[in-house]
């Protein structure tokens, strides 16, 4: 049972434009959400997170939005850069003991 | 460099065999997590250890087992290997009081 879903396997965006990556979840008990970025042949690296008590968290070019009623979160990257091309995973956790990951969205930023 | 090390980087073995994957967490991190990533799949949580004790269990097969030693390194043992066990296996560690996990580079297991 996939509790965290990323329904878009891939996304292409022009350099300088906004990239929006989406993630849906089913478990209302999730209290922490994270985004990870993964390059080929490397492990995922942490990008940004948000607690369930917030609806927005911003870190430089990256902003995560959480809509609890819709059980939906999104990652906005503005402006997108070629170096942002990678696979992005969203993850959710209950109390930090078990993390559920989506299947990833491969982002390509076209120069 | 996340500070998490995994060995070996690659492992090729035959069906029915047993292998051990090793993970050294970041200095001071007490929590260790193991994940499996099969082709075109997300990261499937297998198991978590905290300071030597099992804390949470995910979709880990009975043929798989893990442990965390007093020096906090962890090993994932996979036995009676099947073709479908071919995957990337990631280890991650997490500092106390922080929800961010730091991932190792992974071990690519190929079962022939």
Contact A11, A107 (CB under 8 A): yes
**Pick from B42, B56, B106: which is nearest to A101 by CB?**
B42
Vertex B62 angle, CA B57 and B68, to 5°: 50
Query: Is A96's pLDDT higher than 80?
Result: no
pLDDT of residue A88: 97
Q: Is the pLDDT assigned to residue B15 strictly greater than 90? A: yes
* Bridging pattern class, strands A105-110 and B10-13: unpaired
Best mutation target among B43, B49, B89, B92 (most A Cβ atoms within 10 Å) is B43
When CB atoms are compared, the residue of A34, A44, A102 closest to B99 is A34
- Residue in A32, A89, A97 closest to B43 by CB: A89
Asked whether residue B95 carries a pLDDT value surpassing 80, the answer given is yes
**Given pLDDT bands bounded at 50, 70 and 90, which one contains residue A94?**
confident
Task: Summarize the confidence of residues A90-102 as an average pLDDT.
Answer: 87
A31 to chain B: nearest residue by CA? B99
The confidence score (pLDDT) of residue B41 equals 76
Instruction: Report helix, strand or coil for A83.
Output: helix
At residue A1, the pLDDT reads 67
Nearest-5° angle of CA B62, CA B66, CA B69?
Answer: 155
Q: Quick check: A96 and B33 CB within 8 A?
A: no
Instruction: List chain B residues with CB under 8 Å of A93.
Output: 99
Mutation for testing the B interface, residue in A9, A34, A44, A103 having most B CBs under 10 Å: A44
pLDDT attached to residue A14: 97
pLDDT in tens, A7-43: 999 999 999 999 999 999 999 999 999 999 999 888 9
Q: Does the beta carbon of B103 lie under 8 angstroms from any beta carbon of chain A?
A: yes
- Selection from A83, A87, A78 nearest residue A37 by Cα: A87
Q: Give the integer Cα–Cα distance in Å for B38 and B86.
A: 7
Residue A97 is predicted with a pLDDT of: 73
How sure is the predictor about B96, in pLDDT bands with cuts at 50, 70 and 90? confident
């Amino acid at each position: 049972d996939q509790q965290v879903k990323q329904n878009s396997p891939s996304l292409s965006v022009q350099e300088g434009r906004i990239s929006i990556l989406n993630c849906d979840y089913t478990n209302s008990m999730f209290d922490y959400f994270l985004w990870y970025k993964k390059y080929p042949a490397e492990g995922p690296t942490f990008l940004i997170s948000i607690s369930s008590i917030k609806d927005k968290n911003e870190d430089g070019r990256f902003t995560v939005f959480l809509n609890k009623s819709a059980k939906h979160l999104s990652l906005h990257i503005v402006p997108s850069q070629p170096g942002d091309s990678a696979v992005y995973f969203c993850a959710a956790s209950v109390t930090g003991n078990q993390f559920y990951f989506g299947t990833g969205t491969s982002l390509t930023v076209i120069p | 460099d996340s500070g998490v090390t995994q060995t070996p980087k690659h492992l090729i073995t035959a069906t029915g065999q047993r292998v051990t994957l090793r993970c050294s967490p970041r200095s001071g991190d007490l929590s260790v997590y193991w994940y499996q990533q099969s082709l075109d799949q997300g990261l499937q949580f297998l198991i978590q250890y905290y300071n030597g004790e099992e804390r949470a269990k995910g979709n880990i097969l009975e043929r798989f087992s893990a442990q965390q030693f007093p020096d906090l390194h962890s090993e994932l043992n996979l036995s009676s290997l099947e073709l479908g066990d071919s995957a990337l296996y990631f280890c991650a560690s997490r500092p106390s009081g922080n929800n961010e996990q730091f991932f190792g580079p992974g071990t690519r297991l190929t079962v022939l």
